[in-house]
Each structure stands twice: as C-alpha cells, then as structure tokens.
Amino acid sequence: MIIALAPRLSRGCSWVWLSIVLLGLSPWAVQAQTKPPAETAEKPKAATEKGAEAPAEDEKPADADEAAVVQEEVKSSVEVFVDPLAVKANENTFPQLPAGNFNIKQIRDVEAMAKGAAVDRDLIQKYVTKYTADLTNRRYIKGLIDPEVGQNPNSSDAVGFREASAHLASPIDLAKKGNRTAFLKTYTEALLAQAPKVLKNHLLARVEMAILLGKTGSPEAIDTFIAQINDKEQTILVKLWAVRGLLNVMQVSGGGFQDLPGGPTVIAKAAHALVDWLAEEGLPWPVRLRAVEALGTLRMAADPKAQGKLEMASTLMGILADPKARLEVRAQAAWALGMLRVSQANPKFNYKLVAFYAGEVAAGLGEKVTTTYSSNLSLAQLYASPLLFQIYPAFNGVDGVRESGLLRMPTLGQNRGYVEQVANLIKPVAKSAIELFKSPPGSRDKAAKELSDRVGALKSFLEKNVPEDSQFGEKDYPLKAELARVPAGDPKVAGAARPQ
C-alpha cells in the first residue's frame, strides 16, 4: 500500500510526496490533503476529532487487518486504489543487476565533482551503476519491506536500499545547490544508461529511478518520461513520477514555467502521451489531477499538425464538463484550459463554455465549503483551495506566465463580456470563503451566509445565461447545469450538520 501525501507547490497546486508502506498484496492508497491557504489555515484538530485517536498499544490490529483499520481511522481521508501492474512489480523475483565495488574515496570524489571539481564521466558511470544495482538487490528489498524477525536494524540487508537511494540522490542535491549544470548533465546521462533495466525491475527500484530522474530537472530525461507514460505495462506510480519529472523540467524559479526544450514537436509528443493516458478507464482521481496539471503546463491547445481538432484542449474540456468527475479534478481542468495558448487557428475554442463550466465548479466548491465548515473546518479549507488556486487563475492567469488566464488571452474577442461576468461573480465567492476562515468561531455562521448568497448569485447567473453555442472542438456538450443540489439560499446551509 502506498500512502501519498500532497502538500502544495509554490503556485498553490498540491503534489505528491510518496511514503511507501507495503502491506499484503500492496494496493496503494492515495491521501489527497491539499494544504489550506496560509492566510486562512488553522491548526488541525486531528487529535480531538472523532475517529482521529490512535489505538492504544493493546488495541492495535493484526497485520491482516491493518489496511482496513487505517482506512477506518482516517475516514474519507484515504482512498485505496489497486494497480495490478504494481502488485506484479512488487514480487521480489526480478533479476539483480551486477553491482561491482566502490570505496569511500571514490564516493568522496563523486561528491567533489558535484561541488565543482573536474568531471570524470567514467567514475560517475561506475558510481551510478553500483548504486542503481543495489536498488535491485533482492536482500535489500526484502530487508525493507519484509524484514526477518529479529533482524539487526543496522545490517546491510536492513539499510542497503535506503543507503543506495541516499547515495544516488546526494550528488544531485549538491550539484543543484551549486548550479553545476555540466555535472548534472553527465550524472543524468549515467542514470539514463541504467534506466531501461531499472524501470523494468522491482516496484521500489522503478519508483526510485523515476524519482531520481525527475529530481535532476534535466531535459535529457524528457524522452524517458514520455516513454514511461506511453508504456502500457508500466505502473501508475512510475508514470506519476514521470509526469512530475516533466513538470520539474518546465518549472522555473518564482513559480512559473517554461516550454519543454525541443520545441513544438517534443511538446506535442508529451501532450499526446498525457491525452492517451487520461483516456484510460479507472485512473485514480489524484493521478488524473496531476496529468491534467501537466497537460495545462505544456500550454498546447492543439497539435500544430491538426489545429482544428483542439485535441489537448478538448481532453481538458471533457474533464471540466464531466459531472461525475471530482470537483478538484474539474477545477484543475479549468486551470489547465486557462493556461493554454489559443490562436486564431483554433476557432472552436469556446470561451463561454469554459467559463460556464468553470463557474459551475466554483459554485459546487462554494457549497461544499458552506456544508462542511461547521463540523470539519479543515475539510472546508480543502474545498476552498481549488477556488483560490485553480478556478481564480483559470480566469486571471498565473504571475509570470504570459497570456495565461481566459481574460488575458489575445483571442478572447467578443467573448470577453460573458467571461468577465462569470469571473466577477466567482471573485466574491473566493473572497467570502477566505473571510469565513478568518472569522472567529462565533461569527462564522454569518460569514457562511454571505458565502451562500454569493454562490446563489453565481448559480442564478449561470442558470439564466447558458451559452448559446454548446460545441467545443469537434464535440457538443449538453448545456445542463449540474450544480450542487442544496439550494444556495437554504438557511440549513449555514451550520449544517456533517453527514455521518
């Protein structure tokens, strides 16, 4: 079972830091916990809320029931998804790669290169070969996930995998700290030489290799990331870290992002891989959310060879308009659509339709806040986060990213009036959500009523101003608002009891 926690990135999006715990057949659980905005966050009451107390020592469950008990303790915070490919890849029967020997002086020499000493390509390759091979060592893997009773915690079997991981990551950290680009390039090339064998090995080795390649932020790894996303036999976790690797290549200091090196051909290649992956059935929603984020960050609305199809934008539109998708994923799709570069060659990009469905999602999130704040403030903050960090930028853009946000797109034209109206109704919804969290406990019901009224105004506008054109790209969308069922003006919204 893999439990994934999701703190926010600098631009407000959450991401996945993986803590690997293997139990039974190793289903993997994703705990999506978007950290609430700093200005609105309160200390969570996890120690006192119902269901949050840890069991006493004499009440702890047997291993066979541990996964079920974990789920019960955290209630809806944890969802378990089983990836059959990950179950298969967790079998400790894969071949060990030859490791060779490496001494402490050679380790120090590689660290010195990462800090600025002359680069020795052969020594770097030997270093990477040694420690990537250790990632495939079956004794080390067993010592990590299935240790023997009474095993010495300091034995090589117990610490071998962790030490190999640390040795492989350390030169990357040192080089990035000193901006040693020549070393990073050579080191990434050494990792890539081992990657084809490691990415077909044990689950832990695969994930570790994907993390290391992503950590480099190196353009040399782009083709490998795309290949993993396209590989039908690769596990979801490796694909997820390949997506993170693409994002790391594109991210720049200050929270913005650049184009993938290689121009439109490489960008289209990555975009098609993400579009195909998003089309797969049963993809866990947190994974879909990250793939959607990456597709938006690529900023390509359509393949340059087929501008009229709007293939990338249409994939995102389908997610935004899907009433069965989670609001968090739909909000990320709205953000992604707002990041795309839309040209005159994309006449079927329907701005009004995007604004309409983004407004629908904003209303749904606002109502979730009003129905949960009184019983679970942290959960209400989770619902507010996409309002502030995905929906609002979908209209107003991201700082440092030119022509981002629907209102800043040069081809908006005559659609501006409608899009501005929706944006101007969403803004007070987001503001009221912040005010609710800022309010002292005794004033929150009043603030929730204000939020409810703002949501009501947004819903009313959407219901009365359905776009006349329902086509986006080559598809027609049913223009029927799927807003939350609770009437915005219902007095029971403020202070409503939490469903049990």
Give the DSSP per-residue string, 351-366: HHHHHHHHHHHHHHHH
Longest dimension (CA), the chain: 73
Q: What is the pLDDT of residue 154?
A: 81
Sign of CA dihedral 463, 469, 471, 472: negative
Q: What is the pLDDT along the chain (500 residues), one digit of tens a residue?
A: 333 323 333 343 343 333 232 222 333 333 333 333 333 333 323 222 333 233 333 333 344 343 333 333 334 457 888 899 999 999 999 999 998 888 999 999 999 999 999 999 999 999 999 999 999 999 999 999 988 888 888 888 889 999 999 999 999 999 999 999 999 999 999 999 999 999 999 999 999 999 999 999 999 999 999 999 999 999 999 999 999 999 999 988 777 889 999 999 999 999 999 999 999 988 999 999 999 999 999 999 999 998 888 999 999 999 999 999 999 999 999 999 999 999 988 889 999 999 999 999 999 999 999 999 999 999 999 999 999 999 999 999 998 899 999 999 999 999 999 999 999 999 999 999 999 999 999 999 999 999 999 999 999 999 999 999 999 998 998 775 454 443 433 433 333 333 33
Specify whether the CB–CB gap between 451 and 433 falls below 8 A. yes
- CA-based nearest residue to 224, from 257, 184, 197: 197
Is the dihedral angle over the CA atoms 250, 251, 253, 258 positive or is it negative?
A: positive
How many whole angstroms separate alpha carbon 391 and alpha carbon 36?
Answer: 15
Residue 443 amino acid letter? S
In 377-405, which positions are buried (b, 16+ CB within 10 angstroms) versus exposed (e)?
bbbbbbbbbbbbbbbbbbbbbbeebeebb
Q: How far, CA to CA in Å, does 277 sit from each of 321, 333, 372?
A: 18, 15, 33
Q: Give the span between the Cα atoms of 141 and 57, in whole angstroms.
A: 28
Q: Is 352 exposed, middle or buried (0-12, 13-18, 19+ CB in 10 A)?
A: buried
> What pLDDT, on the 0 to 100 scale, is given for residue 157?
85
DSSP 8-state class, residue 476: E
Q: At what angle do helices 156-177 and 181-198 cross, to 10 degrees?
A: 140
Beta bridge partners of 2: 20
Q: What is the pLDDT of residue 427?
A: 97
Using alpha carbons, list the distances in angstroms from residue 326 to 13, 288, 330.
Answer: 16, 10, 6
Q: Which of 95, 165, 101, 170 is nearest to 136 (CA)?
A: 95
In angstroms, the CA 389 to CA 375 distance is: 24
Which own/partner contact pairs does 173-180 have at CB distance under 8 Å and 24+ positions apart?
A: 174/111, 174/114, 174/115, 175/114, 175/115, 176/217, 178/114, 178/115, 178/116, 180/114, 180/115, 180/116
Amino acid at site 252: V
Q: Residue 125 to residues 99, 173, 207, 461: CA-CA distances in angstroms?
A: 12, 17, 20, 62
| Sheet architecture: strand order including 79-81 | 17-20, 2-5, 28-30, 79-81
Question: What local confidence, expressed as pLDDT, does residue 391 receive?
Answer: 98
Q: How high is the pLDDT of residue 480?
A: 58
Q: Is 466:481 a contact under the CB 8 Å cutoff? A: yes
Position 250 scores a pLDDT of: 94
Positive or negative: CA dihedral 29, 30, 35, 36: negative
Alpha-carbon gap, residue 127 to 174, rounded angstroms: 15
Please name every residue paired with 341 in a beta bridge, in sequence order, or none if there are none.
300
Sign of the dihedral through C-alpha 160, 164, 167, 170: negative
Q: Which of 487, 482, 489 lies closest to 356 in space, CA to CA?
A: 482
Distance CA 407, CA 345 (A): 19
Q: What is the pLDDT of residue 1?
A: 31
Q: What is the pLDDT of residue 62?
A: 40
SS3 state of residue 412: coil
> Does residue 53 come out as left (phi exceeding 0), alpha (psi in the -120 to 50 range) or beta?
beta
pTM of the model: 0.82
Tokens of 258: 């650049």
Element (H, E) at 67: helix 66-74
**Distance separating alpha carbons of residues 315 and 274, to the nearest angstrom:** 10
For residue 470, what are the contacts with CB-CB under 8 A and spacing of at least 6? 353, 476, 477, 478, 479
Residue 159, CB half-sphere, CA atoms under 13 Å: how many? 8
pLDDT of residue 158: 86
Query: Pairing mode, if any, of strands 2-5 and 475-476?
Result: unpaired
- Ramachandran angles phi, psi of 459, nearest 5°: -60, -40
